[in-house]
Amino acid sequence: MRVAFVGKGGAGKSSLAGTFARVLAATGRRVVALDSDPMPGMAFSLGVAQIDAGLPDDAVEEFEETGRRRYRLREGLTGTGAIERYAVRGPDGVHFFQLGKARGARWDNTRQHFGFQRVLDDLPGEDWSVVGDLPGGTRQPFLTWGRYAETFLVVAEPTPASLLTARRLARLAVTGSAPRVVVVANKVRTPRDAEEVAERTGLLLLGAVPFDPALDEADRLGRAVLDHDPTGPTVTAVRSLVAALSTETRAR
């Protein structure tokens, strides 16, 4: 399974993606949780302590091609090797790999950014699952950092702005390389909220996650909701999402 969580800023991508990755890893699969957002998010929802870990500079080498400076993983280092070596092992055995957090002026991050992209180009194969948390917005998910995805999972709140974002993302996704786009209704308060998300986006509704104050509490404590409220409504709903997407994936 290779799934990327997309959606409007604040829709709940990181909260759900981190929980999803751990639930999947707890079933015994090898899971890479990929955080492509330079702002922190997934480390917290996974409950990983090393929130700044990224690729070290020496994993990436510069070279020149037709007079231009370019970057590649150092000789002998593959994408899988980079995940095995540099991903942080988190709870439930999840491998957390992220674009290193911004550390100074823009060009200080160039090596890491290109290195991260090279890893995305060469992710581990069939026996690994990939769960990605993408930054809000439309450009990065489809043009660069979401290209590994077989499924784009749009997280949408039942608000006009979130639904409009979901429709735009869905249009962009079909023109990209991803074969499939599904939607998850988040922060729903009534069954009608979820129906509205399905109707207004026109996407397959994979599931719904209720509005859950425990998530806000977990955020304030800097804890994963899976550790804070393991049997609560969010985790229960995410378990259903994992089951639904696993069934969907097998059916294809």
Ligand X SMILES: Nc1ncnc2c1ncn2[C@@H]1O[C@H](COP(=O)(O)OP(=O)(O)OP(=O)(O)O)[C@@H](O)[C@H]1O
Q: Mark the segment that binds Mg ion (CB under 5 A) among 40-48, 114-122, 196-204, 222-230.
A: 40-48
**Cα separations (Å) of 18 from 76, 91, 97, 171, 224?**
30, 11, 12, 25, 8
The rounded distance, in Å, linking the Cα atoms of 149 and 116 is 15
Q: Which is nearer to Mg ion, 41 or 54 (CB)?
A: 41
Binding flags for ligand X, 180-199, as an x/- string (CB under 6 A): ------xx------------
Could you tell me if 202 and 219 are in contact, meaning their C-beta atoms sit under 8 angstroms apart? no
**Cα separations (Å) of 37 from 26, 64, 229?**
24, 28, 25
Write down the H helix ranges in the chain: 13-26, 42-46, 79-86, 110-121, 139-140, 160-175, 191-201, 213-221, 225-228, 233-251
The rounded distance, in Å, linking the Cα atoms of 148 and 137 is 17
Q: Does 10 bind ligand X (CB under 6 A)?
A: yes
Q: Mark the segment that binds Mg ion (CB under 5 A) among 6-14, 26-34, 48-56, 59-67.
A: 6-14
Among 77, 88, 119, 209, binds ligand X (CB under 6 A): 209
Q: Mark the segment that binds ligand X (CB under 6 A) among 12-20, 24-32, 50-58, 68-76.
A: 12-20
Among 1, 3, 4, 11, binds ligand X (CB under 6 A): 11
7 binds, among Mg ion, ligand X, none (CB under 5 to 8 A by kind): ligand X
The rounded distance, in Å, linking the Cα atoms of 173 and 123 is 20
Q: Does 41 bind Mg ion (CB under 5 A)?
A: yes
Among 1, 3, 13, 224, binds ligand X (CB under 6 A): 13
Q: Which is nearer to ligand X, 13 or 95 (CB)?
A: 13
Cβ atoms within 10 Å of 38's Cβ, excluding its own: 17
> Interface residues for ligand X in 117-156 (CB under 6 A)?
136
Could you tell me if 46 and 31 are in contact, meaning their C-beta atoms sit under 8 angstroms apart? no
Residues of this chain that bind ligand X (CB under 6 A): 7, 9-15, 37, 41, 136, 186-187, 209, 211-212, 215-216, 219, 234
Residues of this chain that bind Mg ion (CB under 5 A): 13-14, 41
